[in-house]
Amino acid sequence: MQFVNPNASDSEIKHFKEEFASWITMNGFRELIETLSIFLDNIFNVCIFISNTKSIVDKPNKLINKFSQKGIEGKFTSLEELFNIKIIYRECIFAINKARNCLAGQ
């Protein structure tokens, strides 16, 4: 299997390497954000479960479904507003997400 023309110039090979590095970095950032999102879903579920044992939460499944549809920023905000959970590296996470979006051309 061959991906690159064996007669490719040094500048073409350099360009391929740069594009590949960008693609790998973008995918790494995406995986990081998606995994964090799943982690936040689990934190929210535990918070809802604990709150529900005290009969504080009305319609917990609806809240869980709504939360899971939010982006990272919305999830951070919900955790802070509903459960007073402060996200100390919030701006760093947003910067990673913005960098991923830039690499993806969004």
Residue 98's pLDDT is 87
Report if residue 1 sits inside a domain.
no
Report if residue 5 sits inside a domain.
no
Between CA 61 and CA 56 the distance in angstroms is: 13
Report if residue 24 sits inside a domain.
yes
**Count of structural domains within the chain:** 1
- Which range marks the domain in which residue 74 is found? 10-104
Give me the residues of the chain with pLDDT under 50, please.
Answer: none
Residue 106's pLDDT is 54
Long-range contacts of 23-32 (CB under 8 A, 24+ apart): 25/103, 26/100, 26/103, 26/104, 29/96, 29/97, 29/99, 29/100, 29/103, 30/100, 30/104, 32/96
Which of 58, 99, 66, 67 lies closest to 85, judged by CA?
67
Report if residue 4 sits inside a domain.
no
Model-level pTM greater than 0.85?
no
Residues 6+ apart with CB under 8 A from 33: 72, 93, 96, 97, 100
Report if residue 3 sits inside a domain.
no
Report if residue 27 sits inside a domain.
yes
